[in-house]
Amino acid sequence: MIFIGGVGPRRKKLESHPRICSNCGLSQAYLVRTDNYLSLFFIPILRIRKGQPFVECERCGHVTDESGQVHAPGTDLLAISCHRCGEILEKHFRYCPHCGAEL
């Protein structure tokens, strides 16, 4: 017998109406949440971890929290985006680790 199972993230859209993206200005930002599911034969059967909701733009990928604050990916820290390369960085950074620009 072949058992194909595992845990994987699944993205869920929490709102059907888009919001205005603060980065590109288009109304293509949606409130989403990434939950972790236990799946069997590629079918999610059980939600094992509920993620924090966030707003993600489908067009440019810009991520903010519900109130529009930008967060560094995977952290609760407020973030800024690099004016040169656009990378999302933690707010306390003085230099961009991606392109070296002074922030």
Tokens of 4: 């194909």
Tokens coding 85: 């390369």
For residue 57, the tally of other CB atoms under 10 A from its CB is: 22
* Interface segment toward Zn ion; rule CB under 5 A; list 10-18, 23-31, 48-56, 71-79: 23-31
Q: Is 99 in the site for Zn ion (CB under 5 A)?
A: yes
- Which residue from 20, 24, 32, 38 is in contact with Zn ion, where contact means CB under 5 A? 24
Give Cβ neighbours of residue 71 (< 8 Å, ≥ 6 apart). 54, 63, 64, 65, 77, 78, 79, 88
27 in contact with Zn ion (CB under 5 A): no
Residue closer to Zn ion, measured from CB, 48 or 99: 99
- Which parts of this chain interact with Zn ion (CB under 5 A)? 21, 23-24, 57, 59-60, 62, 82, 84-85, 87, 96, 98-99, 101
